[in-house]
Structure 1
């Protein structure tokens, strides 16, 4: 660790390592969101077809133009495993509606459980990883996190069942716990000056913002036009790059150059400022989590969009998060961090109530952008806690 603190070049390389690690974790977190609903739909109907329990809606004949006219022609969902879509959906007149849209309601629990499994495992693993890094340092946990995330990414790419996807998502929770806290702790130990530390944190968390920005559109476009495995294989290549950087820069070793005594967990839980910060982070991120689990399914039922739009709909939220991360960092010094967080929570509360009113993807731009505003104060809170340590 001491050698890493020598010279600005080595310290910049540490920032790059943490940046790439957070980019990989956040992209893997969000790239699956627009893929899961249609993937589960295709699994369900392929099983029903093979068992002969019902006639698959994928095999319906294409109506001819003289019967229905060009405006009612049924066109396939390009590149998607779902095949032809129906024009007879009761909730929409779009020609791109799913033939068996009623089955989407059955997927709500599966999608929610799959997406929540990562957060649950990370919640359990994080209190274990924290004291572990105090004993053995940050380098080894980060490298183990890379190995776990790489394994999870490959499982995503080649899994063809819901169970394997669930295991991959849960495994990602362990990798995230071994990446996020040790990564930020590594930056805090290398950059001891408050201003330098804040700048390094901002750059590294930019990887998190970039992953959230690119993940859903990247996943939906690659899934529709290339295939399900394609986005995860690209992320696996990014994971290998991160592992190579860690081997070259951090040189992980079981021999720790220093050991720190961490604050007991009970002491942290009794701190009212930490509790308020944790509450703000939980409630603001809850809105984003709800949209991730429900918005694609709701759009498929009511708006009948093409596959690539399921990911693009998250783009306004990602862009607003990227902007407000820097904006709130500046405003926090002028008007106070608590007021920035309060403003962000008010905006996200109003925005999340406006989502069900939208009738098409364009009307979702404003509410989604407002929801993304909530993540800006999150970073401000995180930086504030880091600076005060």
Structure 2
């Protein structure tokens, strides 16, 4: 019995198990975030236009093919019509004449239908729906944006475990509302409520990892893995939602997510054992962090890197339906290349960003994001979206996996070793991208078109990229602290209570 109890205690102290819990929480949160992407635009259109049916394909009558030659038999007097006086009078003799007739005009002409017309939808209604869909999608990010400055300081007072578990409870409730909601206001509330849960999970999860992985290189690797969980959720969500909605219905995918979230909650209860834990070290105030120019530059990179995909979430499905007649499964599949490459990018540039310089990885990532955004409007089929979406996801992964650990490094370097507030700023930056993007996308599409909307955010990424050079060698609060961080020393003795599996193996 004692051995079993010791095993349980070792599991609870394991950094790897904590990393697994954080990654699963981010996976489920972002799976819910993206499952709605192929569902909501079509679902809202159908509940407002319940009689929508796709028209039969246009039929045309075949155009008769004219014969090569026509042989006519005419009386000779009709052939000889020059009436020369020296010639004999017309006779009744019949002669033949072969001639090529003029081309016959086509009997019918057809005008190609728009993709929306092939789906039985109205083009103007789809364009106008961009605004409402964009507002619904951005509501989660706006609420998360408001909640983050509260959750960050709260983690310093009560620890990370209670906010983490609270995030699970709120996400579970949001999933159930999505499953059974059948009107725009109810779905809007579900999306907004998810923002509170996401704030709790993201801020607490990243702070928990920064606290347990004190070495800068290890922290970058751990956060790359956690963001890989986020990427996997983004990867699975759209095709999962699209396929389930088309073949099973709206309720089923959300009920499955609710069951998975319940399992994650039980795991948190067992490992984290939510309880109040106060930090002894004084935390920097939110105002001190928000006025630090290096933290703001890092947060800005996260915002602008994610703003493009935030604009695409509500507008790309409607654009695909309007121009390509794309069904639900294709809309979900369109996001797969971005999700796969984001998963690769976060795991690759967690350690690689530390080696090459996180500022350089982010600089290259922002340039690639701009190029890919400008390439998307040129697509005429779903196959043409594969390359730009894949490049977009990979580049966003470069920026996120570099700037998230950079925030922990900067707060260690310039402030104190308490991470709740700085990761609330990081999550605010992430949410700004997913709040501003969807909120503006509908209006921008209506006024300037889908193409120029993406061109605009691409130019912003190009202009922001040079600021990454400021992060090449940020100044420390004191030189001795910078030296310790460079060589990967532990930042505080309070971490000795956490089990380090890597040191035990050696």
Query: Where on the TM-score scale, by shorter chain, does this alignment land: which range?
Result: 0.7 to 0.9
Could you say which residue in structure 1 is the equivalent of 2:114? 91
CA distance in 2: counterparts of 1:4 and 1:280, whole angstroms: 41
CA distance in 2: counterparts of 1:22 and 1:260, whole angstroms: 28
Q: How many positions carry a matched residue from both structures?
A: 356
Could you say which residue in structure 1 is the equivalent of 2:447? none
Could you say which residue in structure 1 is the equivalent of 2:285? 264
CA distance in 1: counterparts of 2:126 and 2:37, whole angstroms: 15
Could you say which residue in structure 2 is the equivalent of 1:84? none
> Residues 348-387 of structure 1, C-alpha deviation per residue, up to 9 Å, x if partnerless?
1111111111111111111111221232221111122224
Could you say which residue in structure 1 is the equivalent of 2:182? 160
Pair 1:95–1:109, CA change in 2 (3 A): closer
State whether residues 57 and 100 of structure 1, in contact with CA within 8 Å, keep that contact through their aligned partners in structure 2: no
CA distance in 2: counterparts of 1:137 and 1:124, whole angstroms: 20
Q: Flag structure 2 segments of 5+ consecutive residues without an equivalent.
A: 1-6, 62-109, 413-506
Could you say which residue in structure 2 is the equivalent of 1:128? 150
Pick the aligned partner of 1:109 from 128, 131, 136.
131
State whether residues 34 and 220 of structure 1, in contact with CA within 8 Å, keep that contact through their aligned partners in structure 2: yes
Shift of 1:248: 0.6
CA distance in 2: counterparts of 1:330 and 1:196, whole angstroms: 8
Tell me the TM-score normalised to structure 1 length. 0.85
1:105-254 matched pairs, under 5 angstroms: 105-253=127-275
State whether residues 151 and 199 of structure 2, in contact with CA within 8 Å, keep that contact through their aligned partners in structure 1: yes
Could you say which residue in structure 2 is the equivalent of 1:31? 35
Shift of 1:4: 9.8
| Matching of residue 363 in structure 1 with residue 384 in structure 2 | yes
Tell me the TM-score normalised to structure 2 length. 0.66
CA distance in 2: counterparts of 1:109 and 1:359, whole angstroms: 24
Pick the aligned partner of 2:53 from 45, 52, 58.
58
Pick the aligned partner of 1:100 from 113, 122, 131.
122
CA distance in 2: counterparts of 1:351 and 1:386, whole angstroms: 29
Shift of 1:333: 3.5
- Local SS of the residue matching 1:374: helix
CA distance in 2: counterparts of 1:59 and 1:300, whole angstroms: 12
- Local SS of the residue matching 1:359: coil
Could you say which residue in structure 1 is the equivalent of 2:404? 382
- Local SS of the residue matching 1:285: helix
Shift of 1:57: 3.6
**Segment of structure 1 superposing worse, 224-233 or 184-193:** 184-193
**Segment of structure 1 superposing worse, 257-266 or 224-233:** 257-266
Shift of 1:101: 3.3
CA distance in 1: counterparts of 2:183 and 2:144, whole angstroms: 23
Larger Rg: 2
- Local SS of the residue matching 2:234: helix
Could you say which residue in structure 1 is the equivalent of 2:14? 10
Shift of 1:19: 1.5
State whether residues 89 and 99 of structure 1, in contact with CA within 8 Å, keep that contact through their aligned partners in structure 2: no
CA distance in 2: counterparts of 1:239 and 1:311, whole angstroms: 22
- Local SS of the residue matching 1:346: helix
CA distance in 1: counterparts of 2:270 and 2:300, whole angstroms: 38
Shift of 1:68: 5.7
State whether residues 313 and 364 of structure 1, in contact with CA within 8 Å, keep that contact through their aligned partners in structure 2: yes
Q: Flag structure 1 segments of 5+ consecutive residues without an equivalent.
A: 47-55, 70-86
> Residues 31-50 of structure 1, C-alpha deviation per residue, up to 9 Å, x if partnerless?
1111111001111112xxxx
Shift of 1:259: 5.1
